[in-house]
Structure 1
Amino acid sequence: MAQREELTRFMKAARARLSPADVGLPAGERRRTRGLRREEVATLAGMSVTWYTWFEQGRDVQLSVPMIERLGRALRLEPKEREFLFALAQHRPPPLSSQLDEEVRPGTQALIDALNIPALVIVEDWTVVGWNRLVQRVFRDYAPLPRAERNLFRILMLGQQYRVDPERYREMARRLTARFKWDYSRTASPEVFDVLIAEMRESSEVFAQCWEAAEIRTHFEDVNTAALPEVGQISFHHTSYAIEEVPGQRLILFAPADAESAEKLRRVAEELRAEVAG
């Protein structure tokens, strides 16, 4: 009952902050209260006034996902407000947005910059959108690369340095593809994946074989190695975490896999800090 009351307050407040001019409607006669009327919201959302009224009043009516999406657009809801509406109306998160949010929030960037381990941020199609200086030093500098060349899946699957050991490469490809399949199944932008999948089928026989397999993975953890001329090989255990603030973004952390790697990474981090300070 409390959630229904909150839904009513939320919908009324969302209506109240909009004027007819905000949504392309004529102002009409003088209004006693500010904001849009219920019938105006219903018209904008393509639903009956009665159904909208019952929904706003908190009655036990079930709206479909497309209808809730239309309501969100009609009321000009921000992404977090859209999530809030779905949580109140359907007690679940909304579907992933059809547009990839590639903006790394200041708080996320501050966090990865403060870490003493490599860290990067990817969006759901595995394009790298954020990184710290240790990623640039240990793996690669993404800054000068155009978006099309910052896809981590493509980099890992097609990079020659990952194919030195064929058996190891095939095992990595199997795990990567199984996780990539899971992300593909959940996306609201399959066309973004389709282009990459078609390219990978043409470029990698191993990918084509893995893609035909039935395996899927809902998470991905592994150990990888980076070779730096000044310190030698550093082994990392990497894992990823969803960024709660931005659905579709994931934070990937690379922690030293052993004491020797931790010492080597510490030296690299100290040298990097000295360069920045100097």
Structure 2
Amino acid sequence: MSHREELSLFLKSARGRLMPSEVGLPSGERRRAKGLRREEVAALAGMSVTWYTWFEQGREIQLSAPMIERLGRTLRLSGTEREYLFALAQHRPPPLVSRLDEEIRPGTRHLLDSLATPALVIVEDWTVVGWNRYVSVAFRDYGAMPRGERNLFKILMLNERYQGDPEFYREMGQRLTARFKWDYSQTAQPEIFDDIIAELTERSALFRECWARSEIRSHFEGINSSFFPEIGEIWFRHTSYAIEEVPSQRLIVFAPNEERDAMLLERLRKIRPELHSGEPASP
């Protein structure tokens, strides 16, 4: 079966499962089949009946991304179905959604709580929206911070905690800004970065210098440390992973950098009772 044939079947199925009352239309008494009529879908999506009919029939009709978006909203498609529609119609992923999806899905929440090492989730503008108990112990308690103060990029660039070693801070700032520039170049909603860029430009000389450079990075990794009075310093190597279910979210995992660090983290687990709590660290 060709993509066009599958597209035709998919649209007919989506149209057929929607009742007129669900989209604010009268049900009427003389409907030969369940679901919406083609002309109703076309009207709701702002398309001509002819174009929608040809598109549903699998003809070589090229619709713009905004038109496909309107069609997807009209048919009440889920996020996965929206991606499927774009794949069939344009052979590429859909544009990034125009809002930040900050909901932590159950599978991601379970993974965060199952990891015996710090891990957190950020959205496109680097705001932290999920974390586990190890993050609260090793770095900071995001649960006690308003959303506007949970931007990881601003924390790392502005917090004096990271500026004690000028050489380390400079390397970190260069690396983070190069990745932040990459995220900015990829976004479909650059306005969510504007306030962050403006604030950093005003407050950080290092940011101004790094932002003016052409360096970019499409990956996120590095080494950092955290000090614990009971056991000393633990070094972590962190890297990030796209969350397939929510492309606008990234999971960042902090693994012990060396065997010594793994041993110290194990000692910390035994000392800190809060690391054994059954309650999740974030909503």
Whether TM-score is above 0.5 comes out as yes
Q: How far apart are residue 142 of structure 1 and its match?
A: 0.6
Residues 180 and 53 (structure 1), Cα distance of their counterparts in 2 relative to 1, 3 Å cut: same
Q: How far apart are residue 188 of structure 1 and its match?
A: 2.3
Q: Is the 8 A contact 2:102 2:123 kept in 1?
A: yes
Match of 1:42 in 2: 42
Letter matched to residue 197 of structure 1: I
Gaps of 5+ in 1: none
Deviations 1:176-206 (A, max 9, x none): 1111111111222221110111111111111
Size of the alignment, in residue pairs? 278
Match of 1:256 in 2: 256
Q: Is the 8 A contact 1:236 1:256 kept in 2?
A: yes
Match of 1:148 in 2: 148
- TM-score normalised over the length of structure 1: 0.95
Match of 2:21 in 1: 21
Match of 1:231 in 2: 231
Distance between the aligned counterparts of 1:260 and 1:218, measured in 2?
30
SS at match of 2:246: coil
Q: Is the 8 A contact 1:113 1:133 kept in 2?
A: yes
Deviations 1:46-82 (A, max 9, x none): 2221211111111222211111111111112121111
Distance between the aligned counterparts of 1:255 and 1:42, measured in 2?
52
Match of 1:240 in 2: 240
SS at match of 1:249: strand
- TM-score normalised over the length of structure 2: 0.93
Distance between the aligned counterparts of 1:2 and 1:271, measured in 2?
60
Q: Does 1:197 pair with 2:197? A: yes
Gaps of 5+ in 2: 279-283
Q: Does 1:77 pair with 2:55? A: no
Match of 1:271 in 2: 271
Distance between the aligned counterparts of 2:227 and 2:95, measured in 1?
40
1:129-140 equivalences under 5 Å are: 129-140=129-140
Q: Is the 8 A contact 1:127 1:151 kept in 2?
A: yes
Distance between the aligned counterparts of 2:190 and 2:277, measured in 1?
44
Distance between the aligned counterparts of 1:143 and 1:274, measured in 2?
14
Deviations 1:132-189 (A, max 9, x none): 1111111111111110111100110001011111122111111111111111112222
Q: Is the 8 A contact 2:134 2:275 kept in 1?
A: no
Q: Is the 8 A contact 2:117 2:255 kept in 1?
A: yes
Distance between the aligned counterparts of 1:179 and 1:224, measured in 2?
16
Q: Is the 8 A contact 1:238 1:252 kept in 2?
A: yes
Q: For the aligned residues, what is the CA RMSD?
A: 1.6
Match of 1:52 in 2: 52
Distance between the aligned counterparts of 1:77 and 1:178, measured in 2?
36
Q: Is the 8 A contact 2:128 2:150 kept in 1?
A: yes
Q: Is the 8 A contact 1:241 1:252 kept in 2?
A: yes
Q: Does 1:112 pair with 2:112? A: yes
SS at match of 2:247: coil
SS at match of 1:120: strand
Distance between the aligned counterparts of 1:122 and 1:130, measured in 2?
7
SS at match of 1:238: strand
Distance between the aligned counterparts of 1:4 and 1:272, measured in 2?
58
Taking every aligned residue pair, what percent have the same amino acid on both sides? 66
Q: How far apart are residue 29 of structure 1 and its match?
A: 5.1
Distance between the aligned counterparts of 1:209 and 1:29, measured in 2?
69
Match of 1:99 in 2: 99
Distance between the aligned counterparts of 2:176 and 2:277, measured in 1?
38
